[in-house]
Amino acid sequence: MHSTSYLAAPTETEMPKIAANLSRRGFFVGAATAGAVAATAVVAPSLRPGPSPQAAARPAPERGGGYSVTDHVKRYYKSTLV
């Protein structure tokens, strides 16, 4: 035969204690959530990115534009050599 053990149901005197613990737990969870929301509300405005600096615009080329060999292109070509 198999032996099974079940947890006994709480008695009438234990029920108010359990309810009080659940109520207390809910209060602390709510307080922690409210604190986190308040902290986020205080910090969030300072996290907004400012205006991004614009790169210095080059003057438009006289003849077409198109492809030009720049430093980063030269570095890429060097990296492809075997």
Amino acid 4: pLDDT:
63
Model pTM score: 0.36
66: left (phi over 0), alpha (psi -120 to 50) or beta: left
Segments of the chain scoring below 70 in pLDDT: 1-5, 10, 15, 18-20, 22, 52, 55
Q: SS3 helix, strand, coil % of the chain, rounded to 5?
A: 50, 0, 50
Give the angle 66-70-75 at the CA atoms, nearest 5°: 130
Note the pLDDT tens digit of each residue in 18-34.
666 768 888 888 899 99
Distance (Å, rounded) from C-alpha 38 to C-alpha 42? 6
